[in-house]
């Protein structure tokens, strides 16, 4: 007969004190389960809004693709490890990156599959993670590990109209705004956090003004509205990976066609 894991608790309930010991044992199990359940239920969903506006305009702009993240104050040790799934991708299709924006935790990898019928050359030389994947053909892919915190602006050295963004954060507590500006950050443990916000079209000073400390608890789980000013003019055209202007290809002739 296999040994019982509770052999050291062998007693008969009718023995003197047996029932009391049994009650104490069962009570300990229930309390342990209760504490475990309470611990798992402590995490809350933090919500709020990002309001992107333009000076002189009475209406709010499309507020999608803003990133709001929380960094725990006073936390010691390493943050939770980055999740290995699902696999994140910036797909190259129809001379564009899809999706345009990807948010990852530092240490995560992002794949760049080429689903166009011609070559691409993905690179990023600005802030964040710097890399150059070189030329690679249709049906192939390259992967980058984003091991550095920051904003990585992604371009193709062949097609100037292609652009994407990878935001790498040290915290797992972040959310991306929808068109109405709604932001949801799930599974946040109670505590004090520093809140940050980023948007590709925002004026940098406007982003800095929104940095604040918030308290997260069962009753405090909204950061309210973040009003961020949008840039008035479109950004200047970016250069290629050599710091030069892009050459204009012949009309209707793809550069580096697939053989």
> Domain spans of the chain?
11-41, 45-229
Q: Are 190 and 217 in contact (CB under 8 A)?
A: yes
Distance CA 104, CA 240 (A): 25
Burial 151-164 (b: 16+ CB within 10 A, else e): bbbbbbbbbbebbb
Nearest to 226 by CA among 31, 44, 53, 76: 53
pLDDT at 235: 83
- pLDDT tens for the chain, 259 residues: list them: 444 443 433 444 444 555 554 454 444 544 444 434 444 458 999 999 999 999 888 778 899 999 999 999 986 556 666 655 568 999 999 999 999 999 999 999 999 999 999 999 999 997 899 999 999 999 999 999 999 999 999 999 999 999 999 999 999 999 999 999 999 999 999 999 999 999 999 999 999 999 999 999 999 999 999 999 999 888 889 999 999 999 876 444 455 554 4
Tokens in use for 39? 């611990």
Distance CA 124, CA 86 (A): 23
Distance CA 49, CA 179 (A): 10
Q: Is 143 helix (H, G, I), strand (E, B) or coil?
A: strand
Q: Is the peptide bond before 183 cis (omega within 30 degrees of 0)?
A: no
Quick one: how far is CA 154 from the chain centroid?
16
Tally helices (H) and strands (E) across the chain: 2, 17
Helix (H) or strand (E) holding 230: none
pLDDT at 144: 97
Q: Are 128 and 184 in contact (CB under 8 A)?
A: no
pLDDT at 83: 59
Distance CA 50, CA 184 (A): 11
State pTM to two decimals: 0.79
Q: Residue written as tokens 């509205």?
A: 225
Q: Residue written as tokens 């809004």?
A: 49
Give just the sign of the alpha carbon dihedral 59, 62, 64, 69: negative
CATH topology for the 45-229 domain: Immunoglobulin-like (2.60.40)
């Amino acid at each position: 007969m296999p040994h019982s894991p509770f052999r050291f608790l062998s007693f008969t309930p009718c023995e003197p004190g047996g029932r009391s010991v049994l009650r104490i044992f069962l009570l300990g199990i229930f309390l342990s389960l209760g504490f475990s359940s309470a611990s798992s239920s402590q995490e809350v969903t933090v919500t709020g809004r990002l309001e992107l506006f333009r000076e002189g305009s009475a209406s709010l702009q499309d507020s999608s693709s803003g990133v709001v993240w929380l960094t725990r104050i006073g936390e010691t040790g390493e943050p939770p490890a980055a999740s290995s799934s699902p696999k994140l991708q910036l797909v190259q299709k129809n001379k564009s990156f899809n999706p345009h924006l990807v948010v990852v935790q530092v240490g995560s990898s992002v794949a760049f599959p080429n689903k166009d019928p011609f070559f691409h050359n993905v690179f990023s030389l600005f802030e964040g993670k710097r890399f150059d994947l070189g030329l690679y053909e249709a049906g192939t892919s390259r992967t980058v590990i984003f091991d550095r915190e920051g904003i990585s602006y992604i371009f193709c050295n062949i097609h100037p109209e292609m652009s994407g963004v990878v935001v790498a954060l040290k915290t797992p507590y972040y959310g991306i705004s929808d068109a109405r500006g709604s932001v949801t950050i799930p599974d946040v443990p109670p505590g004090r956090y520093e809140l940050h916000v980023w948007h590709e079209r925002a004026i940098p000073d406007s982003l800095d003004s929104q940095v604040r400390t918030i308290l997260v608890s069962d009753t405090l789980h909204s950061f309210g509205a973040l009003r961020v000013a949008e840039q008035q003019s479109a950004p200047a055209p970016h250069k290629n990976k050599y710091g030069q202007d892009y050459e204009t290809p012949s009309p209707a002739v793809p550069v580096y066609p697939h053989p």
